[in-house]
Structure 1
């Protein structure tokens, strides 16, 4: 069978103007609507297959055979080096074993206390703008950055300075623009050409800001550990699993940065390796969650009936109490959980992943030759009408157990799936539940920006081209 082939790069090269990235994003959606789950493109010397049907996606990501990320991720190597997102093979496997215990349930339980404290700080921050229309994106982004610093990194952001935090966030946004431009400019795929370009020179300046910020976090935590030691988390024998093997010994559970600092002391990672993983988790741990929360708040503002149902569930769990939630409270918020899942279906922060195919692969209807990239479009997968009827409707009941029976296991993958799934997905879900439960107990959201107003753009993380406005009103006034 012949496979539909787009003139992808030719059309990308013609895109110009202030809405370059939104036009690029929309072009991908045009192709997804035109062809049934798969299309290809070719621009010498690169070829790629684009898939957004669950059978083909399962073939690629359910196994370790295709674990290597595509050349697109090499654009991140000056930033993330060989961190968990980019690495593959033995290095990826070793790092995954070091880091997985850092997201054990007992540590998440401890993190919940810190996350709830920061959620209450966010509640107090919004009191200053109650009754006003605000752009929710920078407010939420500041909150998620502070939370990842204080939980996984063990360092309070205000000890480093909030101004440096803002510079760090701004630099990450700018890096996203540069990666997008490089993706559509084949000549810039070569490091030599990119480094000579204005984009390469700008990236170097931005990376200095990013790396200096994360290096300060590492330095701060290492000094703390040298002075105070490391907090450990004991677990029952039946909760110890394979990834707990550390130099042939069962290891205790520790927070992420502490784990890799101790791994350095045992010779399993060096200073460069610590920097790689901190850069990776600082980016993924705050930016993706911030994007997910911003879109979710916008959806709640535009769906007051659903917002009221969440508030009713919160009253059932907390009554009239103003106490902070603990992890057991959050586990009872099943309707809120379904709402978050539905929001991540419509607006998956990681909307696109890519693998390198180093051997011939048999997909559902086509045989794909070795040596090409495989782009997996999660955004388009989640909006397939054959998988999710009325796909543009925000309907949390899709995730009720009775409505999930028979759904393809790879139809919904906001945190990817298979061996390279997101290591921090439970952390992210807990943070989103904590944030929304704290906010809705105090405030109502009213619509300003509507889903139809969004102009989504191609970036490392799904973003709107512009603010996301909501009106926030205190329930007690």
Structure 2
């Protein structure tokens, strides 16, 4: 009996291997190069390693297997694409906007918000939310950017002349506050310290769990995941974040109920793209709910999505940019000279017009996002076969884009590890492929908040370099990266803040 059972198991395993390997999709995927897999399980065990090692391994695979290669295991298939032409074939198409794994692991938290939804639902949400990021809306919020930047400078003032300051915690509190006051239209009743303690730890927990699941095949399905101890930890984190989101929404509802109708729901004469230009993102959502175009669940999905994406990515970008300027003293001096040309000796707050004059600072921001893209990894699930460079990538395959590595292509960015802002001068960008540089993704699903982010980055950095000199503590060569929802390092990033003298 035992022998019969063993023979049956072996037969099933062999049949599964034959099916996965020699089916239509299996034959096509094996025409691509890629790391050698084992019987039936393919490359599944190649990713059962530490997050830091996964980050390095993906780069090593690209160096060995070139600009297009595959991973496989059981019925899972993934293709990595690196050439700009390959990237454009996927990201520029309205037929390839679906997001599969690992975005599916975000559903318990973000639901089907703008980041994770697909098809008609995504199109509806994108159209609904686009007016919330119109220039006139951003202009209205600019004073908040300036006020929060000044508060951040006071925080840095307390750090001045300390041996070192850890950047990310201070920056993330500031960017979270900006998101609350601008897109969410709320000034939280609790102090930001209490609020961030309720928010950051659960977000960190969920991020860690998602990467943990990516490296463990048996946790891919929700059915199996629900029986794991990790699922219980996730439930506690989700409860905290749900409470946070509820507080944000309820606070804004209460504020609107206390306003005159013309203020709470906008002025019909103030119109942008058919939407009232006065509405912040959460206001817009609540207004759409009143009209029956979105429900409570939909509002929660978008608030969760934008609270996370809107603050974490910007805080990460600021962190690496400040570190880079601290390590590049000549470049830091050039940015400060640009600030002097705009502001002179004045300590006035910047204006929208001032931001448009910060050409070299903008180059620095773009170069920092090249080296350290906040969203370092993008993927799409193919809903139909795709032909690339003579290969047919079958439907159901996940197309991965390692943005971190794509941005370090020496054929496009010579001396790719070096911080060179001049790469982004207009004359240098003129002939560069538009899909060679994708810090905000590209195509139909590009980042809806990229103008918001650029305005915030310019406001903070221009304020910073008018008041402080930055000295390097953490060096770029010391950074050890690991995969997360945004680009992370294994150890904190530090700089030293030194107050500028008036004659500096």
TM-score normalised over the length of structure 2: 0.89
Per-residue CA distance 1:32-60 (angstroms, 9 max, x = gap)? 22222111011112111111211111000
Question: What residue in structure 2 maps to residue 423 of structure 1?
Answer: 448
- Structure 2 Cα separation of the partners of residues 29 and 55 of structure 1: 19
Question: What residue in structure 2 maps to residue 9 of structure 1?
Answer: 44
- Structure 2 Cα separation of the partners of residues 233 and 26 of structure 1: 53
Question: What residue in structure 1 maps to residue 481 of structure 2?
Answer: 456
The equivalent position to 1:348 in structure 2, one of 359, 373, 376, is: 373
Per-residue CA distance 1:295-314 (angstroms, 9 max, x = gap)? 11110000010000000000
Higher RCO, 1 or 2 (CA under 8 Å, sep at least 6)? 1
1:44 aligns with 2:74: yes
1:234 deviates by: 8.2
Q: Which SS does the other structure have where 2:264 is aligned?
A: coil
1:337 deviates by: 0.4
- Equivalent pairs counted in the alignment come to 463
- Structure 2 Cα separation of the partners of residues 253 and 71 of structure 1: 37
- Structure 2 Cα separation of the partners of residues 69 and 363 of structure 1: 19
Counterparts of residues 325-404 of structure 1 (less than 5 Å):
325-404=350-429
Question: What residue in structure 1 maps to residue 166 of structure 2?
Answer: 135
Q: Which SS does the other structure have where 2:151 is aligned?
A: helix
1:233 deviates by: 7.5
Q: Which SS does the other structure have where 2:258 is aligned?
A: helix
Counterparts of residues 6-405 of structure 1 (less than 5 Å):
6=35, 7=37, 8-13=43-48, 15=49, 20-132=50-162, 133-157=164-188, 159=190, 162-228=193-259, 229-230=263-264, 232=266, 240=272, 244-245=273-274, 251-405=276-430
Q: Which SS does the other structure have where 1:196 is aligned?
A: coil
Q: Which SS does the other structure have where 2:471 is aligned?
A: strand
Q: 1:261 to 1:439 in 2, by over 3 A?
A: same
1:236 deviates by: 8.5
Question: Would the aligned equivalents of 1:101 and 1:253 in 2 still touch at CA under 8 Å?
Answer: no
- Structure 2 Cα separation of the partners of residues 261 and 73 of structure 1: 26
Q: Which SS does the other structure have where 2:484 is aligned?
A: coil
1:294 deviates by: 0.4
1:403 deviates by: 0.8
Per-residue CA distance 1:186-212 (angstroms, 9 max, x = gap)? 110110111111111111111111111
Question: Would the aligned equivalents of 1:171 and 1:209 in 2 still touch at CA under 8 Å?
Answer: yes
- Structure 2 Cα separation of the partners of residues 336 and 157 of structure 1: 32
1:21 deviates by: 1.3
1:407 deviates by: 0.4
Q: Which aligned segments of 4 or more residues in structure 1 are displaced greater than 6 angstroms?
A: 233-237
- Structure 1 Cα separation of the partners of residues 499 and 305 of structure 2: 37
Decide which moves more: 224-233 or 354-363: 224-233
For the pair shown, which has the larger CA radius of gyration, 1 or 2? 2
- Structure 2 Cα separation of the partners of residues 121 and 251 of structure 1: 30
Question: Would the aligned equivalents of 1:79 and 1:279 in 2 still touch at CA under 8 Å?
Answer: yes
Q: Which SS does the other structure have where 1:69 is aligned?
A: coil
Per-residue CA distance 1:261-281 (angstroms, 9 max, x = gap)? 100001010011000000000
Question: What residue in structure 1 maps to residue 499 of structure 2?
Answer: 474
Per-residue CA distance 1:132-181 (angstroms, 9 max, x = gap)? 11111101111111111111111124536532322311211121111001
Decide which moves more: 297-306 or 168-177: 168-177
Question: Would the aligned equivalents of 1:165 and 1:213 in 2 still touch at CA under 8 Å?
Answer: no
TM-score normalised over the length of structure 1: 0.94
- Structure 2 Cα separation of the partners of residues 231 and 91 of structure 1: 24
1:364 deviates by: 2.5
1:184 deviates by: 1.2
Q: 1:236 to 1:282 in 2, by over 3 A?
A: closer
Per-residue CA distance 1:82-118 (angstroms, 9 max, x = gap)? 1000001111111111110001111111111101100
- Structure 1 Cα separation of the partners of residues 479 and 463 of structure 2: 26
- Structure 1 Cα separation of the partners of residues 363 and 267 of structure 2: 30
Q: 1:87 to 1:434 in 2, by over 3 A?
A: same
Q: Which SS does the other structure have where 1:64 is aligned?
A: coil
Structure 2 gaps, min length 5: 1-29, 38-42
